[in-house]
Chain A
């Protein structure tokens, strides 16, 4: 694995806590192809997609990328099983130019594949619930598509969140609740904090917010796209992408404390546009670039 620090490392001193970027590793090269939208597994696995979320790929080791699927949509919001051995994704095909989606469970070893939903419209990407089960949202409710493995010991109340018709829908204790904490509009990128008590989301044109599970705003994080929780729930990682209405002019990765008071740049590059970060292990952030290269930032606390 190449270990090239090509990104300007930045250190900021924070009141009580200091996080610095120790190193940034390049996980894929331009020669290997363009890859986007990384997703991290529980044991350090890294998935990513091709351009347009076409195809799903697993980083198996230095210089080795395994193709799990080449289908349209396969790389859009895949999710791992709790043990990291399987991945759930939603490929689609066109029939009369209408999308027909399926939900596929595939072992990352690549030897087993099961189709859980076949050729349907109007269901969301799969999400893993805190109890390990995997579910999708349809307009009619939450559908557990796979009860994977035993329930973890410290399972918190099963809370899950999706976007339905632009609004946030939240399931808790089997109840479905539609939330529009900031009124009508498009809500994006919702996720539940690791302790199951808070909701992180973006409202298009308004910014990114943390609310309680009733939708009462707790913190306004400002302009912070594609936000994701850190595993300890203390930070949010996001991209700050700026455009002129045609092209992305610049984009960098930042983390912000969940009280919104401390923001630290993970990348600060003029020439390269870093996008769509995810927090992998406690001290790792994986992100892509607009040109299609995947990187990993290693944090030091």
Chain B
């Protein structure tokens, strides 16, 4: 028993201390640089005869090496993962990427060329003018690499070189590395037999396996426990027509395309390999445990070969096979796409059948059947060895099809298929309906009357059907032009200014498989009144009362302002018409238009009337000007705030954390959302809390700023809790989250951020669940239609707030109450309606349609004096104009219009 325990402990220790394969490279950072990039024949090494691009081949090798390394826990930095011209980085930038990422090793992957008459493996290390390597470790790695690459590539020799003495120059990508690096030239791609081999993706990838083996050795990690078998099949009776001198002598023989190799261990089938049609005769089996195997290679018109082969761990056994012709063989089906019993085939797929021999098209097409029947046409490829069936209609979803080729199918010499070949497939659950992926204008955007519209589909469409399915309301004639079958432009003959339009593309818009859009698509947009610059929104609004004396003025335009025209075309005056100094101008670009904010130089006087004015001289960058002067008269707050007992003055507090730490944070761009103690704005002292937030979706966003240690608060009855908030006019809401005795994460909505600048926000403490709470989070909650990003400040969280009722003045603007314009407007499907009650009152807020019928009663109750907001969700209603009416107190009735656009 004791011995057994001991043995178990040993096993446990062995498990604990042996690194699993997936973590072998854990903590190691490697940069992989697939050489070149793009399709420039000069720089990206194009071989016209074979259609080979070095830029593509290097990328295949690099991406597969990345996958192999990452599967073993390495961190891999890729200099590129695509093959566009812009991916072809300057060499100095590639080494700078390696340096700034502080990688442990750098590997550049290339292939070479030399007049098409040589095929060697070379590995380069960076060499100083005295012949010494910059890094002895790079030379050591080059020695390992040249050995490993030679094992997998069909080259004549291998060597490693210092670049300067061998090439006569320093390789630019190695020159400025601050770590060891090597550049491999696995083989010569302009040597045509090798160029054909390099067209085989598995041949390329096997070079990546060789580099992996080298890296394991370089990093002193255990070698691969498995090996590989690779080879080339050739017909010795035929000599190739292209240059083969300079390579291995057997390159003279014609490689056999379309081979079908199967591997067995004893009687057990292990894997098969289908050769390509690229004149290389290559096959490979990787991830084989060491041991003896039987390889069976079949080829259409050659005798089948059977070979006994040993595979060693961490090695590639390489086999050349020379096949002998057998013209008596009957044709076979080697493979199909999809494979037999395939489930979930996309409903627009083509079918492929690969035969072992060139087939007679007529008899084979006649021998083809698909049940249930499907219209389509045939296409022959690869010298009539590959039959492609292209349906001209979609597969019916969730349907089993049987595809057969009966024995009437003949090869090119008239031999019939020996037995009927069939395979079955099941189509996908539903069509991959065509989608509209992009539009100009974007949904609910505004455009000029001179703009054309662009619609992009993700699939090829039938142009006439799409044009038939296209309508615009109000109707506009115009011209369609198609860039390709996935993108058209509609150029309207004329659009009206300041008009809402809806473009509809109905489900009759068909793709080339005759499948239409799943749902009608509607695009809503508005034309600008673009003969002028317009102010779309502003704060405060005409007639607003109780505006904070520390307010910030907010104007959103529909154009980008010419900054030099801004300051001189604004005015802020008091009731006597005296100019009030302005400062802190901030211009922000938002969706191609400007948001302007500025403050008064000094706090405004309490209970005073001010007028802020924007004059027509203000211009946008297109030199459009405001048509009319916008003048807003408002009244400031009458109340004087005397600080209560400050709980957090945000001068030195380091306990609040970034929103990324908030467990409830949701749909938030963490890179651009943060909490900081900031000197930019303040109420008292030098600093305040700043929260930047950017929501990543249209709704449900939460920005939770959590405090490491909650603030413990105790309230007396009937007291007030308060804080200073610098609003961003985003219309999101600000909440405080707290834990009380029994309840966790209770929230209290402090305010809607429907103002700009500092405002004191006061909450009766009886709104909290308990007299003792732990305040732990400041939360911004995204509201429907609100702007999804902003910046707020918070200062002096306090309790026992004293509000000196300095002298309560009446609001001179309204005899009763205020009903504000809904926001946003137009909207879909939610909008916010705000109103203010000067005194406690019975309120009804009702929405009507254009016929005057009641659609929804939003409020019907007695409410306290102050500001109120209601969110209306119109998701079950049709687009159109609606009205909302506020009745409050004795005789106040006000109606406003809102526009639902779906």
Contact surface of A with B, Cβ cutoff 8 Å: 30, 34, 36-37, 51-54, 72-73, 75-76, 94, 96-99, 101, 121-122, 124, 163, 165-166, 173-178, 180, 186, 188-189, 202, 204-206, 223, 225-226, 239, 241-248, 275-276, 290-292
Which residue of A54, A165, A188, A223 is within 8 Å of B96 (Cβ)? A188
User: Per-position contact with A for B119-148: 1 when CB-CB < 8 Å, else 0?
Assistant: 000000010110000110100000000000
Q: How many Å lie between the Cα of A99 and that of B172 in the bound state?
A: 23
Check A243 against B172 for contact (C-beta < 8 Å): yes
* B102–A205 touching, CB < 8 Å: no
Q: Which residues of A contact B135 (CB under 8 A)?
A: 52, 54, 72
- Distance to closest chain A CB from B320 (angstroms): 32
Chain B residues within an 8 Å CB radius of A205: 86-89, 93
A166 touches B170 (CB 8 A): no
Q: How long is the Cα–Cα vector from A189 to B176 in the complex, in angstroms?
A: 14
Q: List 8 A-B contacts (CB under 8 A).
A: A52-B134, A53-B178, A75-B178, A98-B27, A166-B97, A206-B86, A246-B173, A291-B129
Kindly report which residue of chain A lies nearest to residue B174, judged by CB atoms: A52
User: Which residues of B lie under 8 Å from residue A175 when comparing CB positions?
Assistant: 674, 676, 678
Residues B219 and A97 in contact, CB atoms below 8 Å apart: yes
With contacts A98-B28, A188-B97 taken as known, whether A30 is within 8 angstroms of B172 at the C-beta atoms is: no
* Inter-chain contacts of B89 with A (CB < 8 A): 204-205
Tell me which residues from 38 to 96 in chain B have a Cβ below 8 Å from any Cβ of chain A: 43-44, 77, 86-94, 96
Check A173/B678 contact, CB under 8 A, given A52-B126, A54-B134, A166-B101: yes
Query: Of B93, B167, B173, which is within 8 A of A204 by CB?
Result: B93
Partner of B179 from the list A99, A176, A177, A223 (CB cut-off 8 Å) is A99
Least Cβ distance of A97 to chain B in Å?
Answer: 5
Q: In the complex the two chains form, what is the Cα distance from A138 to B678 in whole Å?
A: 22
A-chain residues with CB within 8 Å of residue B807 when the two chains form the complex: none
Establish whether residues A174 and B93, one from each chain, have CB atoms under 8 Å apart when the complex forms: no
Is B674 in contact with A99, judged by CB distance below 8 angstroms? no
Instruction: Provide the residues of chain B in CB contact with A275, threshold 8 Å.
Output: 92, 176
Greatest chain A CB density within 10 A among B35, B43, B93, B134 is at B93
For A248, the chain B residues whose CB sits under 8 A away are 91-92, 172, 175
Could you tell me if A186 and B171 are in contact, using CB atoms closer than 8 angstroms? no
Q: Which residue of B lies closest to A169 (CB)?
A: B671
Contacts of A239 in B (CB 8 A): 92
B286 CB within 8 Å of chain A: no
Chain B residues contacting A163 (CB-CB under 8 Å) are 100-101
Q: Which of B14-49 contact A (CB under 8 A)?
A: 27-28, 35-36, 43-44
Q: Mark B659-685, 1 if CB is under 8 A from A, else 0.
A: 000000000000110101111000000
Which chain B residue has the least Cβ–Cβ distance from A52? B134
Q: Are A178 and B102 in contact (CB under 8 A)?
A: no
Q: Is the CB of A97 within 8 A of B92?
A: no
B733 at the interface (CB under 8 A from A): no
How far apart are B790's CB and chain A's nearest CB, in angstroms? 14
CA distance A243 to B92 in the complex (A): 9
- Chain A neighbourhood of B126, CB < 8 A: 51-52
Residues of B within 8 A of A34 (CB): 128-129
Cα of A246 to Cα of B97 in the assembled complex, Å: 17
Using A54-B135, A245-B35 as known contacts, list a sample of 11 further A-B pairs with CB atoms less than 8 Å apart, ordered by residue number in A: A72-B179, A94-B104, A97-B219, A97-B220, A101-B102, A174-B677, A178-B671, A226-B92, A243-B91, A247-B170, A248-B172
Looking at the assembled complex, report how far the CB atom of A292 sits from the nearest CB atom of chain B, in whole angstroms: 7
Question: Which residues of B in the span 140-174 have a Cβ within 8 Å of any Cβ on A?
Answer: 167, 169-173
Instruction: Assess the A97–B104 pair: CB atoms within 8 A.
Output: yes
Given contacts A97-B105, A202-B93, A204-B97, contact A245 B178 (CB under 8 A): no
Residue among B43, B92, B94, B219 facing the most chain A CB atoms (10 A cut-off):
B92
Residue of B nearest to A97 (CB): B219
The 9 closest A-B pairs by CB, nearest first: A52-B134, A53-B178, A163-B100, A175-B676, A76-B178, A248-B172, A51-B134, A247-B169, A204-B93
Contact across chains for A99 and B93 when beta carbons are under 8 A apart = no
Q: Which residue of B lies closest to A276 (CB)?
A: B176
Residue from A94, A225, A290 within 8 A of B175 (CB atoms)? A290
Residue of A nearest to B670 (CB): A178
B172, A292: Cβ atoms closer than 8 Å: no
Taking a contact as CB atoms under 8 Å apart, the answer to whether B172 and A52 are in contact is: no
Asked if A247 contacts B172 (CB within 8 A), the reply is yes
Q: Which residue of B lies closest to A246 (CB)?
A: B171
CB distance from A105 to the nearest CB of B (A): 20
Does any Cβ of A come within 8 Å of B787's Cβ?
A: no
CB-CB under 8 A from B137, the residues of chain A are 94, 97
B806 CB → nearest A CB, Å: 36
Question: Looking at the complex, which one of A204, A223, A242, A290 makes contact with B170 (CB distance below 8 Å)?
Answer: A290
Q: How far is the CB of A220 from chain B (nearest CB, A)?
A: 15
> Cα distance A173–B36 when bound, in Å?
42
Q: Say yes or no: A188-B178 contact (C-beta < 8 A), given A94-B137, A245-B36.
A: no
Is B848 on the interface with A (CB-CB < 8 A)? no
A166 partner residues in chain B, CB cutoff 8 A: 77, 97, 100-101
**In whole angstroms, what is the CA distance A80 to B88 when docked?**
35
Q: Which of B91, B219, B676 contacts A173 (CB 8 A)?
A: B676
Tell me the minimal C-beta distance from B635 to chain A in angstroms.
35
Judge whether B178 and A96 touch: CB under 8 Å: no
B612 within 8 A of A: no
Across the two chains, which residue of chain B brings its CB closest to A53? B178
Closest A residue by C-beta to B85: A205
User: Quick one: closest A residue to B97, CB to CB?
Assistant: A186
Question: Interface digits, B188-206 against A, CB 8 Å rule (1 contact, 0 not)?
Answer: 0000000000000000000
Closest to B674 in A: A175
Nearest CB to that of B671 among chain A residues? A178
Residues of B within 8 A of A189 (CB): 96
Cβ–Cβ < 8 Å partners of B176 in chain A: 36-37, 53, 275-276
A177 to B86, CA, bound (A): 27
- Which A residues touch B170, using CB under 8 A? 247, 290
In whole angstroms, what is the CA distance A241 to B676 when docked? 41
Q: How far is the CA of A206 from the CA of B86 in the complex (A)?
A: 8
The distance in angstroms between the C-alpha atoms of A291 and B723, with both chains bound, is 65
Contacts of B86 in A (CB 8 A): 205-206
Q: Indicate if the CB atoms of A52 and B93 lie closer than 8 Å.
A: no
A206 to B678, CA, bound (A): 34
Residue among A205, A226, A245 with max Cβ neighbours from chain B (10 Å): A245
Of all chain B residues, the one with the shortest Cβ separation from A94 is: B137
Instruction: Give the CA-CA distance A275 to B100 in the complex, in Å.
Output: 18
User: Max chain B CB contacts within 10 Å: which of A188, A242, A246?
Assistant: A246
CB neighbours of B794 from chain A (8 A): none
> What's the Cα separation between A286 and B100 when bound, in Å?
22
For the complex, what is the distance from the CA of A165 to the CA of B36, rounded to whole Å? Answer: 23
Write the chain A residue with the least CB distance to B177: A52
Q: In whole angstroms, how far apart are the Cα atoms of A250 and B701 in the complex?
A: 52
Contact indicator A244/B43 (Cβ below 8 Å) = yes
Any chain A CB within 8 A of the CB of B384?
no
B490 at the interface (CB under 8 A from A): no
- Complex contacts, A36 vs chain B, CB 8 Å: 176
Q: Distance (Å) between the CB of B832 and the closest chain A CB?
A: 29
Which residues on the A side are within 8 Å of B167 (C-beta)? 246-247
Q: Measured between alpha carbons, how far is A200 from B313 in the docked complex, in Å?
A: 51
Q: Is the CB of B93 within 8 A of A98?
A: no
Report A-chain residues with C-beta under 8 Å of the C-beta of B105: 97
Give A52 to B105 CA distance when docked, in angstroms: 13
Q: Does B512 contact A (CB under 8 A)?
A: no
Select one of A97, A165, A178 contacting B218, CB under 8 A: A97
Smallest Cβ distance from A130 to chain B, in angstroms?
A: 16
Looking at the assembled complex, report how far the CB atom of A183 sits from the nearest CB atom of chain B, in whole angstroms.
12
A225–B218 Cα distance when bound, in Å, is 32
Task: Say yes or no: is B99 at the interface (Cβ < 8 Å to chain A).
Answer: yes
The docked-state distance in angstroms from the alpha carbon of A97 to that of B820 is 68
Q: How far is the CB of A192 from chain B (nearest CB, A)?
A: 16
A245 with B674, Cβ < 8 A, contacts A52-B126, A99-B104 known: no
Assembly CA distance A243 to B43 (angstroms):
10
- Chain B residues positioned under 8 Å from A53 (CB to CB): 99, 176-178
Is A188 in contact with B219, judged by CB distance below 8 angstroms? Answer: no
